[in-house]
């Protein structure tokens, strides 16, 4: 059963930073929506943050397109870090309940490294918290089984990071799955959804770091 209610309804500068899970499975993310706009010739490169589950895959953006490489870094400033995702997907509902009941998880608590919210990723490189991201892509960890690491924390963290910049596109993959759908509605909000194609949702979020709620006050039942 889905949660009874949500809090609401619901790109042209480098560098890019990516995170590969210690679970090496699958292939690199097939980006859509916001990422496609980065392929136009003559445009600047965007600061892009990508959470992926492919082992040490780097995505390099250029003025003529993008390519996937297995290098850990390149001259364009792309860097790859391994992050250990430890929370299994089966704990998703308990974590969602924790976030709803605890003010420490509110968007106004933007200091992720010091957050006591159980959903906050506090072990990322310092630059992740310091930079203002134009695009954040959530395509990891794998989250395809109850015991596998779930994407609860990456979606929540992406939401907090997005609210610390001016305007940030957050692209979530595998939204046909329950966890990706629940947590996207809860923390990215239907009202911010600007496009959807296949298994991708693209949310556009403006600076809302002082808000006490992620979404508008209207509540909806998630189907």
| Cβ neighbours for 18, distance < 8 A, ≥ 6 positions apart | 49, 50, 51, 52, 57, 58, 59, 78, 79, 80, 81
The Cα–Cα gap between 54 and 21 comes to 7
Average pLDDT over residues 174-183: 96
Q: Identify which of 102, 125, 132, 127 has the alpha carbon closest to the alpha carbon of residue 115.
A: 102
| Cβ neighbours for 131, distance < 8 A, ≥ 6 positions apart | 15, 17, 47, 49
The Cα–Cα gap between 80 and 56 comes to 7
128-149 per-position pLDDT tens digit: 888 888 889 999 898 999 999 9
Average pLDDT over residues 137-163: 93
Q: Which helix (H) or strand (E) holds 52?
A: strand 48-52
φ and ψ of 37, to 5 deg? -65, -20
Average pLDDT over residues 84-102: 94
Q: Which helix (H) or strand (E) holds 62?
A: strand 58-62
Average pLDDT over residues 52-60: 38
**Is the preceding peptide bond at 49 cis, omega within 30 degrees of 0?**
no
Let me know: does 105 contact 117? Beta carbons within 8 Å: yes
Q: Tell me the pLDDT band of 109, cut-offs 50, 70 and 90.
A: low
Let me know: does 49 contact 113? Beta carbons within 8 Å: no
- Return the structure tokens found at 223: 């189907």
Residue 209: the pLDDT is 61
Q: Tell me the pLDDT band of 152, cut-offs 50, 70 and 90.
A: very high
pLDDT reading at 222 higher than 80: no
15-29 per-position pLDDT tens digit: 445 555 543 334 444
- Return the structure tokens found at 167: 């305007």
pLDDT reading at 113 higher than 50: yes
User: 73 vs 201, which has greater pLDDT?
Assistant: 201
Residue 19: the pLDDT is 52
- Return the structure tokens found at 26: 């699958």
Residue 221: the pLDDT is 46
């Amino acid at each position: 059963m889905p949660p009874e209610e949500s809090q609401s309804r619901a790109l042209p500068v480098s560098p890019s930073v990516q995170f590969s899970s210690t679970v090496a499975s699958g292939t690199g993310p097939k980006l859509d929506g916001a990422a496609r706009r980065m392929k136009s010739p003559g445009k600047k490169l965007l600061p892009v943050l990508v959470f992926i589950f492919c082992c040490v895959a780097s995505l390099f953006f250029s003025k003529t397109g993008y390519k996937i490489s297995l290098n850990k870094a390149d001259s364009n400033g792309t860097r790859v870090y391994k992050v250990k995702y430890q929370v299994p997907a089966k704990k998703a509902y308990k974590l969602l309940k924790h976030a709803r009941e605890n003010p420490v998880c509110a968007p106004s608590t933007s200091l992720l490294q010091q957050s006591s919210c159980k959903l906050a990723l506090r072990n990322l490189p310092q630059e992740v918290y310091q930079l203002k991201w134009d695009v954040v892509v959530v395509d990891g960890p794998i989250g395809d089984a109850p015991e596998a690491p779930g994407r609860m924390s990456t979606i929540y963290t992406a939401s907090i990071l997005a609210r610390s910049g001016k305007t940030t596109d957050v692209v979530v993959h595998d939204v046909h799955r329950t966890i990706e759908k629940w947590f996207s509605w809860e923390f990215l909000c239907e009202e911010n959804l600007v496009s959807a194609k296949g298994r991708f949702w693209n949310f556009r979020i403006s600076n809302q770091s002082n808000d006490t709620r992620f979404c508008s006050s209207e509540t909806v039942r998630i189907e």
